[in-house]
Structure 1
Amino acid sequence: MKNNDNFDSSLTRSSGIKGGGHSTKLRWIIIGIIGLVVVALLAVGGIYLHQRSDFSAKDPNSSKIIEIKVPQGANATSIGKQLQNAGVIKHASAFKNYVDAHSVNNLNAGYFALSPKMDVGTIVARLQKPGALTPNDGVLQPGFVLMREGENAAQFAQNVAKQTKFSAKDWLATLNDKSYLDKLAKQYPDLLSSAIDAPTRYKLEGYLYPATYDVRNAKTPQDITTQMVAKMNQVLQPYFADIKKQNLTVQQILTLASLVEREAITPHDRGVVAGVFLNRIDDKITLGSDVAVKYALNTDKTNLSIADTKVDSPYNLYKNQGFGPGPFNSPSLSAILAVLHPIDRDKKYLFFIANLKTGKVYFTQTIQEHDALNAKLLEQNNNTK
C-alpha cells in the first residue's frame, strides 16, 4: 500500500507539472478561438446592421423592369425575400426594417413592375398602390388600363391610347364634355357637385380612382371614364358625411389629397403633411408645392428653377393662396384619409422637408428652422457621397 501510495503521489505530481504547460497553452488557444469568434460575430453583426439600414437602389443605372407578384396575405418579411431573390433590392432585411420604421401596414397584393434602379422607399411606395390584376411583364394586356396613384389625366390618356382603340385626345375630351358631365353630376351629386363649374384644366381631374380597369367591352371613351368615376364615388361613399363636417368641398379635399399623394409616402407622414397644408391655408400662406408648379408647367423634371416657381398660372401655389383650381392627379384613399384626419395640427407645423436619401420627412414651425434644417441635410448628404 505504501509503495502504491508513493507511486500514485509521484504520478500525480509529475502529471501536474506536465499538465500545467499543456493547460496554459490550451487556455490561450481557447481564448484565441473565443476572440476570433467574437470578432467574427461583431463583423457579421456590423454587416447585418449595415444591410438593415441600406435603403439605396441596388443598381441606380439599371434599365430592367422586373415584374413581381405579391400574393394575398404576404407580410413584409416574405415580400422582402421575394424582392431580393428576384434581384430588385439588395437586402430583404432593409425592406423589412424600412416597413417597420415607417409603420407601413398597407402593402398590396397583385402584379407590380419594379426596377433595381428604385430605392427601398420608392418600392415600398409602389407596393402601397394597387397592384395590376393580371401579369403583364410591366405592360398591361390590351383591353386593360391602369390608373396609378398620383398619375394625372394627361399621363393616363397615354395608357388609354396604348391599350385601347381610343386616342388620348378622344378620351381626354370626355373629361370636359358638358352634356356628359351633366349626366354624371346627376348620377353622382355628392361626388361631383363642386367639380363641374370649377375653372380646371380637366373637370374630372382627381375624380378618376386609381385602379386597373377591364375596358374590353368599352364602346366609347366615355365608357372608360364612367367606370373610373363610379369607382371613386364607391370609395368615397362612406366619407361624404365626414367631408361635409370639415366644411370643405370634395373638390378641396381631393385637391389637397393630390398634393399629399406626391409629397409623402407613409400614412403618418401624409397625415402630418396634410396638417401642414391646412395650417398654411388657415394662416393665409401659399402652399408652395412643387407638385402644383409641375402641373402648371406640364413637366416631370425633378428640380424646379426660381423662374419655374414664378410661372403665371392659377395652378402655381407658390404665387396663389388657397387650394388652387382643383386636383393635380388621382389621389389614393390613403391620401384622402390623411386630409380628412390630419395629424399634429396643434403643433402648428408650417414647413416640411424630406431627406431624399433616407426618405425621412422633417417638420418645422418657422422658416428659420426650415432653412437651418435644409442646410444641415444638404451638408450631411454631401458628406456621405
Structure 2
Amino acid sequence: MIVAKVLKRTGILLLLVLVLINFALFNYGRQLLEPVDYNLTQTDKLVEIEPNTSINRIGKMLYQKGLIRSPFIFRIYLRVKDLSTGVQAGHYKLNSGMSTPEIIDKLVRGETADYTITVFEGARVEQIADLLAREGVDRDKFLGLARHKKLDFLPERDDVKYNLEGFLYPNTYRIPYGSSERDVIRIMVNEFKRQVNFLEEQIEDSDYDLYEIVTIASLIEGERKVASEEPLIASVIYNRLEIGMRLQLDATVQYSLPEHKSRLLYRDLEVDSPYNTYKISDLPPGPINNPSLSAMRSALNPAETDYLYYVATTGGYHEFTRTYQEHLEVQRGLNN
C-alpha cells in the first residue's frame, strides 16, 4: 500500500516535471522565434536566395546575417507549418526587427525586393546605364544590348549608335533585384509600346514612320528647355526639312561628342558624325535620346508657323524668327 502511494506520488511528480519541461521548451522555442532586435528602425539587409537552396542552408545564412535567433527553430517552424518546400527564390529585404514567422511569411509569399529608378525625359542610353550600374546592373552588358538588340516592331539598323536609343521610355520604374540587363530592357521597351500605343493611328497618318517620329521627338526633347515650346521647335524642324535646309541643332552636336559640354565651341560644330546636323542635310540616322510622350505628341502635331530659326533667351525660353536677318537682330539684342 505504502509502495503504491509512493509510486503514485512519484508518477505525479514526474508528470509535473515533464509538463514543466515541455512548458519551458515551448517558451524557449517561442522566444527563439522572436526578433533578434526589437528596434523597428533596423536597416534592411538584402538577402539573395538562389533556386533549389535547402532550408538548412537558408536557415544558416539568415542566422549568420543576424536575422534569426536559431536556424534549428527556423527549420522546425517550416516543417510544422508544412512550408518546407514553399520558400521562393529571389532577393529579399529583411531586417533583425522581424520575427522568424514574419521572415518566413515573406519568403513563402515571394515578396521579393525591388529598387526604384527614374529615367528622366531626354535621358540617353549611356545615362540610363549609369543609373542602373548603381543598382548592380552590368553597365557594359546593358550598353552592348542597347547597341545591338533588334526590336520586333522596327526595321534593323546598322548605322546608329544604339538600336534602343529612343525606345527606353522615360518613367519611374520599380525593378526587382536580380533582374538581368535583358529583363530591364524588356520592362522599358514594353512601357514605350504601352505609352505610344494610342498614337499609332496618328503615326500611320503621318508622312514619317515610327522611327523618324521618335527621332524628331528626341530632337525636340534635346533642344527645348520649356515644355510649352515643343510644338514651336517641332515647326522649325519640319519647316527646315521641307525646304531641304540643314537642321543645325546643338543637341545633335552634343550627342556626337565623346563627352557632354556645358557650352559648345565653333570647332565642336565641325565634329565628323552622321548625327551632326550642322554637317548633314537631313534627319540624323536615329534618336539622340529617349523622348517624353509630350515630345512625341509635338512631333506629330507641330505648331503651324513659318519659323526657321530660334535662339535661347532667358529662363530657358527661345525667340523664334522667320528670316536669318531677324535671327541676327535677336542675337545682337541679346549680346548688347
| TM-score between the two structures when normalised by the length of structure 1 | 0.56
Within the candidate set 244, 250, 263, 2:204 is matched to 244
Q: Is 1:353 matched up with 2:316?
A: no
* Structure 1 residues without counterparts, runs of 5 or longer: 1-140, 380-385
- For residue 233 of structure 1, give the secondary structure of its aligned residue in structure 2: helix
1:149 to 121, 125, 129: 121
3-state SS of paired residue (1:215): strand
Indicate how the Cα distance of structure 1 residues 296 and 375 shifts in structure 2: closer, same or farther if over 3 A, else same.
same
- The reply to whether residue 278 of structure 1 matches residue 238 of structure 2 is yes
Output the CA distance in 2 between the equivalents of 1:239 and 1:159.
Answer: 29
Which residue pairs with 1:171 in the alignment?
A: 142
How far off its partner does 1:286 sit? 0.9
Instruction: Give the deviation of 1:152 after TM superposition.
Output: 0.1
CA–CA distance in 2 between the matches of 1:169 and 1:226? 17
**Is the 1:198–1:326 contact (alpha carbons within 8 Å) kept by the matching residues of 2?**
no
Shift of 1:374: 0.8
Q: Is the 8 A contact 1:175 1:203 kept in 2?
A: yes
Is structure 2 residue 262 aligned with structure 1 residue 302?
yes
2:114–2:177 contact (8 Å) kept in structure 1: no
User: How far apart are the structure 2 equivalents of 1:256 and 1:198?
Assistant: 19
Structure 2 distance, partners of 1:177, 1:360, is 37
Q: Which amino acid in 2 is paired with 1:172?
A: L
Secondary structure, aligned partner of 1:298: coil
Q: Structure 1: how far apart are the matches of 2:237 and 2:316?
A: 19
Aligned residues: 224
Amino acid at match of 1:376: G
Per-residue deviation, residues 248-303 of structure 1 (Å, max 9, x unmatched) = 01111111111111222444311010000011011111110110001000322122
Q: Quick one: which of 324, 344, 362 aligns to 2:319? A: 362
Residue of 199, 222, 231 corresponding to 1:262: 222
1:316 corresponding residue in structure 2: 276
Displacement of 1:142 after TM fit? 7.0
State the distance in 2 between where 1:151 and 1:213 align.
14
Counterpart Cα distance in 2 of 1:333 and 1:143: 24
Letter in 2 for 1:235: Q
Counterpart for residue 133 of structure 2: 161
Q: Is the 8 A contact 2:252 2:276 kept in 1?
A: yes
- Letter of the structure 1 residue corresponding to residue 183 of structure 2: D
For 1:323 and 1:273, locate their aligned partners in 2 and report how far apart those are by CA, in whole Å: 14
Residues 267, 169 of structure 1: alpha-carbon distance in 2 compared, 3 angstrom cutoff: same
Matched residue SS, 1:244 = helix
- Is 1:290 the counterpart of 2:250 in the alignment? yes
Of the three residues 129, 140, 163, the one matched with 1:203 is 163
8 Å Cα contact 2:121-2:292 kept in structure 1? yes
Question: How much does 1:200 deviate?
Answer: 0.6
TM-aligned CA deviation for residue 217 of structure 1: 4.5
Q: Are the structure 2 counterparts of residues 198 and 237 from structure 1 closer, same or farther at C-alpha, using a change threshold of 3 Å? A: farther
Give the 3 Å change call, closer, same or farther, for CA 321–218 of structure 1 in structure 2.
Answer: farther
Amino acid of the structure 2 residue aligned with 1:300: H
The alpha-carbon distance between structure 1 residues 361 and 215, as it changes in their structure 2 partners (threshold 3 A), is same
2:29 corresponds to which residue? Answer: none
Tell me the distance in 2 between the aligned counterparts of 1:265 and 1:335.
12
The whole-number CA distance in structure 2 between the counterparts of 1:145 and 1:268 is 26
Q: Do the aligned partners of 2:309 and 2:327 also contact (CA within 8 Å) in 1?
A: yes
Please give the alpha-carbon distance, in whole angstroms, between the structure 1 residues aligned to 2:242 and 2:157: 24
Q: What secondary structure sits across from 2:335 in the alignment?
A: helix
Opposite residue 307 of structure 2, the aligned amino acid is Y
- In structure 2, the partner of 1:374 is 331
Q: Which runs of 5+ in 2 are unaligned?
A: 1-112
Aligned position for 2:188: 228
